[in-house]
Structure 1
């Protein structure tokens, strides 16, 4: 039974990790706070909990719609595969022209201001709804109902691991990702993972 569920858990973890690991406003905010060692635990837990909530909402919401609309699973599966392929190709293009991460010093923030900043960077970013709710929801909802909790658990764990690593490992990560070569390797890995997931999702959609 465990071996049956493991692929769903792994797929959720890999997809979530591939989508969340990128240079972005939210990640840079967490990294900056980690460098200053300010309110790291509350920020990490808030960001991870927000992701988990959006993932569950996406999977459960789309799951109900899929049960009512025959054929929608195929459309979402192929659409998700196309988006993953585009995302993977974009990551490979970034790998060809890697960026660097520059973290500037900022004045200290209160806990309330830090959490408000986390909320703004999370919920005011339109990509979070495309990636976490729509894409993660589409992929998770396309799985058999019994496998969806493992998919959501894997996705939520990836988010928690990433934000924890980013916040508490910031002092080690910042010098590393000041080098374009580090971002090249990271984007290359993301690109290949996304393309592999796209192929798997397209195959599963056709088979279903």
Structure 2
């Protein structure tokens, strides 16, 4: 149980930081659009990556810098594109109208965006597969899998809380101005992360 608690603590410390993935989950949660789908994709993706890291795949990734470089460039391009779309939305904000099909992105678009924000982020590989994997493998016996379980639970709890809890902000986003502020913030986060990724190459 000590290993499990350690996994929860370290997992939360890595995932709670504001980032592209969290910003997307927050936006979908506020709009109440495909929240369960987004949370499931993010949580399951983290579970796969954490499990792979504990199984030793992280060591392979650590020895293939070219793979990290490719993912970094692709991720930066995607983040810049998503950031540009957020800035465009900020120029033409509209009030939140729940259930308005015309304003709702398709499940496919939302799913692909969630997958891209997760799997095209090199920090995800470094945090989950390399860092968490290395920490987990310091545990003896079954301790590493208890650690992995704790990290997976932390991911699931965080994304669920973020996605479902965001709906309490819905009244605020009944005003177009609030969406302008949110989309500007999302755009800035995406661009800053993209710049950090590129300059870190």
TM-score (normalised: structure 2): 0.61
Q: Mark the runs of 5 or more structure 2 residues left unpaired by the alignment.
A: 61-88, 95-102, 173-180, 182-201
- Give the corresponding residue for 1:30: 25
Q: Which residue of 1 aligns with 2:16?
A: 21
2:12–2:155 CA contact under 8 A, matched in 1: yes
Q: Which residue of 2 aligns with 1:53?
A: 48
- 1:171 CA drift (Å): 3.0
Shift of 1:145: 2.7
Q: What is the CA deviation profile of residues 30-88 of structure 1, one whole-angstrom value per residue up to 9, with x for unaligned ones?
A: 000001101111110110000010000001116999xxxxxxxxxxxxxxxxxxxxxxx
In the alignment, does 2:150 pair up with 1:154? yes
Structure 1, unmatched stretches of 5+, are: 1-5, 66-102, 179-208
Q: Indicate how the Cα distance of structure 1 residues 28 and 117 shifts in structure 2: closer, same or farther if over 3 A, else same.
A: same
> What corresponds to 1:81 in structure 2?
none
Q: Give the number of aligned pairs.
A: 135
Question: Structure 1 stretches (4+) deviating beyond 6 angstroms?
Answer: none
Question: Aligned Cα RMSD in Å?
Answer: 2.6
Q: TM-score, normalised by structure 1?
A: 0.59
* Aligned partner of residue 115 in structure 2, secondary structure: helix
> CA separation in 2, counterparts of 1:146 and 1:16?
18
Q: Which residue pairs with 2:112 in the alignment?
A: 116
